Amino acid sequence: MQLDISSDPNFDNAIPPAPSTAWKEELARIVAFLNRDDCDSAKLWSVLSALRGPDTPDPFEVEKAATAAVIRHTIGLRMRGLVILPDSERSLVERKAIASGSSAHFYAHVANAFGELDLNWRAVNKSAEEAA
Amino acid sequence: MALVKVYVDEPDIPIRDWQAELKRLVDFMKVDDRASSALWVVLSALRGPDSANGSVKVATTGVIRDAIGLELYGLTINPDSPALAKLREGHPELHPLSHFGQHCRSAFKVLDLPWEPEDEEEE
């Protein structure tokens, strides 16, 4: 039986749910890990700092698809609204162009993350499922 | 060792510490609710501007990193100031429609940081 809570006098939809602080706890944990300032925290930083797509104009999001989206996919990130894609031949072609044409800052970050994740910049990387 | 192995539940595969931390973070993000969205907003704003504009970085990324308590050596991390708030105000690189501007503004909002200079108290 489906309950119609809107007709329940005890249901007060004027009171919004309490805002979750879980994300702050999660953030604090990540920050504490990064603040260890050791080899492991540097590796994690390399990946986290490469999750955002390029700031430079990328109208068809081809740069993002070939870099940040592949990184996101590799680490298993799944969130609505984000570009998250497996690697592809098209992305490989784009990456070869990025190495010479993108901003040095963005390229340095995503190339570094590729290295930490054992992804090959100059090859199509297969996911664990594809490789199996 | 490929990171993807982290996601294979085989006890004989060693998991690097940072990979375990990343996996835990990703698992949290997969919930895809308001909490994970808020966390994404902050994480995606931690990298400085790709323009490598140092002033913009100090006025945005540096402030965000400081607000969350990041103390990683070598990174630009600094408290906010009226001068930095003034720099943020109207800076073309921080326009609400620019990619970097959008990310920074969202992070400031989620962290309850004032973007614009606060009004000076009248005497």
pLDDT at residue A124, rounded to an integer:
97
Inter-chain CB proximity A77 and B72 less than 8 Å = no
Inter-chain CB proximity B50 and A55 less than 8 Å = yes
More confident residue, A88 or B34: A88
The answer to whether residue A128 neighbours chain B at the CB level (below 8 Å) is yes
Inter-chain CB proximity A103 and B50 less than 8 Å = yes
Q: Each residue of A54-67: pLDDT tens digit? A: 998 888 899 999 99
Instruction: Say yes or no to pLDDT of A36 above 70.
Output: yes
Enumerate the residues of chain B whose CB falls inside 8 A of the CB of residue A113.
none
Instruction: Say yes or no to pLDDT of A2 above 60.
Output: no
Between A33-37, A77-81, B1-5, B97-101, the lowest mean confidence (pLDDT) is in B1-5
CA–CA gap between residue B60 and residue B105 (Å, rounded):
9
Among the listed residues A33, A90, A36, A24, the one whose alpha carbon sits nearest the alpha carbon of residue A63: A90
Inter-chain CB proximity A117 and B68 less than 8 Å = no
**DSSP character for A20?**
P
Please give the average per-residue pLDDT across B74-89, as a whole number.
Answer: 96
Cβ pair B101, B93 in contact under 8 A:
yes
Instruction: Say yes or no to pLDDT of B93 above 70.
Output: yes
Secondary structure string (H, E, C) spanning A2-23: CCCHHHCCCCCCCCCCCCCCHH
The answer to whether residue B115 neighbours chain A at the CB level (below 8 Å) is no
pLDDT at residue B35, rounded to an integer:
87
CA–CA gap between residue A119 and residue A47 (Å, rounded):
12
Whole-Å CA distances, A122 to A32, A59, A115, B77, B111: 34, 23, 11, 34, 38
pLDDT at residue B11, rounded to an integer:
47
> Nearest 5°: phi and psi at A57?
-55, 125
Is ipTM > 0.90 here? no
* DSSP codes of every residue in B43-70: HTTSS--TT--HHHHHHTHHHHHHHTT-
pLDDT at residue B33, rounded to an integer:
82
Q: Closest Cα of chain A to B89: distance in Å?
A: 19
Helix axes A104-116, A89-101, angle to 10 degrees: 130
Interface of B with A in 18-47 (CB under 8 A): 18, 21-23, 25-26, 28-30, 32-40, 42-47
Nearest to B36 among A48, A56, A79 (CB): A79
| B89 — pLDDT class (breaks 50, 70, 90) | very high
| A70 — pLDDT class (breaks 50, 70, 90) | very high
Enumerate the residues of chain A whose CB falls inside 8 A of the CB of residue B50.
54-56, 103, 105-106
pLDDT at residue A4, rounded to an integer:
40
Cβ pair B85, B118 in contact under 8 A:
yes
More confident residue, B3 or B47: B47
Q: Each residue of A96-120: pLDDT tens digit? A: 888 666 688 999 999 999 999 999 9
Among the listed residues B31, B74, B2, B45, the one whose alpha carbon sits nearest the alpha carbon of residue A34: B74
Structure tokens at A18: 């309490």
Whole-model pTM: value is 0.84
The answer to whether residue B97 neighbours chain A at the CB level (below 8 Å) is no
Instruction: Say yes or no to pLDDT of B1 above 80.
Output: no
Please give the average per-residue pLDDT across B93-99, as a whole number.
Answer: 95
